[in-house]
């Protein structure tokens, strides 16, 4: 697909795709890198004006990316990892495992991460949300068979998202510069610290290392098998996936802090 045909796509489609949480996750492992050409620093920092965007849509969180060259290198590595390893494996896995089974596994992994949401809801002073999360965990672990099913949602007990990066943001800890880590993908200084906090709260962290890595591999493969089409659409719709990923990350974290 040529650059001119990509430019012809409506910007509203790009923005709607960037709001998809699963697309953001898949971009941790992917997105094509367009950093091969040398450019003057001033040209790299020049902002693109979207003539289709509304005034509100053009409001974006402040982005600090002084390590862009390094970040783009890691971004390119993640893109290759996605296309050469993760996507082919997930496609094969999706062929073998029926979709209802994969959806149940997705709910199971979300249920396992209950301690992350509980502790951070408490730290943020959202005690009602912490209570809802606790009730959801009890219901889905018992009636929902270890979280494979979500009967709590039918009882109007919806998940209450919270993580340590969000908690730090509520306590007004600055985001810091943008970082794009190999394998782990988009982050920031605060986000990296937040991820470490979430890892400490995750039950799988305390499994033997090879089991922990195995569980994470199954989780990522399962999620990719369910949502790879969303990433593919995003990759086709954006002119520079690196910039799209960076903007989506900061917008996602800013929205999480406002919840």
Question: Is 226 in contact with 214 (CB distance < 8 Å)?
Answer: no
How far does Cα 257 stand from its chain's mean position?
15
HSE on the CB side for 67, CA within 13 Å?
15
Q: Which residue has the higher pLDDT, 15 or 206?
A: 206
Boundaries of every domain in the chain:
8-35+66-258
Alpha-carbon torsion (130, 134, 137, 139), positive or negative? negative
pLDDT digits (tens, 9 = 90+) for 147-168: 999 999 999 999 999 999 999 9
pLDDT digits (tens, 9 = 90+) for 44-71: 333 334 443 444 444 566 789 999 999 9
The model carries a pTM of: 0.75
Which of 1-5, 214-218, 227-231 has the least mean pLDDT? Answer: 1-5
Cα distances (Å, whole numbers) of residue 144 to 4, 101, 132, 173: 50, 14, 16, 37
238/14 Cα distance (integer angstroms): 6
Axis-axis angle for helices 209-237, 87-96 (nearest 10)? 100
CA dihedral 194, 196, 200, 205 (to 10 degrees): 130
In three-state secondary structure terms, 97 is: coil
């Amino acid at each position: 697909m040529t650059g001119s045909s990509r430019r012809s796509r409506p910007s509203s489609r790009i923005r709607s795709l960037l709001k998809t949480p699963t697309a953001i996750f898949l971009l941790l492992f992917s997105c094509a890198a367009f950093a091969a050409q040398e450019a003057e620093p001033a040209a790299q920092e020049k902002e693109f004006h979207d003539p289709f965007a509304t005034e509100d849509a053009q409001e974006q969180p402040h982005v600090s990316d002084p390590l862009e060259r390094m970040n783009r290198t890691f971004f390119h590595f993640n893109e290759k990892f996605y296309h050469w390893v993760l996507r082919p494996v997930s496609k094969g896995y999706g062929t073998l495992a029926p979709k209802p089974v994969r959806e149940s596994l997705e709910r199971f992994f979300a249920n396992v991460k209950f301690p992350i949401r509980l502790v951070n809801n408490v730290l943020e002073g959202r005690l009602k949300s912490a209570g809802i999360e606790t009730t959801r965990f009890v219901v889905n672990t018992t009636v929902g068979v270890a979280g494979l099913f979500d009967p709590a949602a039918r009882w109007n007990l919806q998940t209450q998202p919270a993580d340590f990066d969000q908690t730090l943001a509520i306590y007004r800890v600055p985001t810091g510069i943008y970082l794009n880590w190999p394998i782990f993908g988009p982050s920031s200084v605060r986000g990296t610290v937040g991820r470490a906090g979430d890892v400490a709260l995750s039950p799988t962290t305390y499994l033997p290392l090879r089991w922990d890595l195995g569980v994470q591999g199954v989780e990522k493969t399962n999620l990719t098998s369910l949502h790879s089409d969303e990433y593919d659409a995003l990759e086709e719709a954006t002119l520079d996936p690196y910039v799209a990923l960076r903007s989506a990350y900061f917008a996602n974290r800013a929205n999480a802090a406002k919840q």
